Amino acid sequence: MNAPRRILLVDDDPNVLEISLEVLAMSGFEIVTATDGEQALARLHAGERFAALVTDHSMPGLSGLDLVRQARALDPGMHCLLVTGYGDTVEGGIEVTFLRKPFRVVELAAAVEALFT
């Protein structure tokens, strides 16, 4: 079962991670961070539950899209937001919401809030 408004936030850029954390926390979300896909996946495999996953697409190692696929295999009901500068098409037919880079902080907060409506 998902934890209401608890978000797993994943980005390998520490500045983006910090700003995103602050914005989402001020918007009333409980935020847990990870600096890469492997760290995020380890949290999920350890049994931590989240209502949503917000992840950068382009990261070393496990990409954001691969993280979304594996997270959904563990928790099919998890909302996912993929932050990307590459467009909004996905191979393999996975359902995911996109936020295009560059984005304003208000756009991030609105995109995450929209996951819950």
Where do the structural domains in the chain lie, given as residue ranges?
6-115
Q: What is the pLDDT along the chain (117 residues), one digit of tens a residue?
A: 456 799 999 999 999 999 999 999 999 999 999 999 999 999 999 999 999 999 999 999 999 999 999 999 999 989 999 998 776 655 566 778 889 988 999 999 999 999 988
Rounded to whole angstroms, the Cα distance separating 73 from 54 reads: 16
Rounded to whole angstroms, the Cα distance separating 86 from 90 reads: 10
Q: Give the position of tokens 């191979």.
A: 91
What local confidence, expressed as pLDDT, does residue 94 receive?
73
What local confidence, expressed as pLDDT, does residue 84 receive?
87
Architecture in CATH for domain 6-115: 3-Layer(aba) Sandwich (3.40)
pTM of the model: 0.91
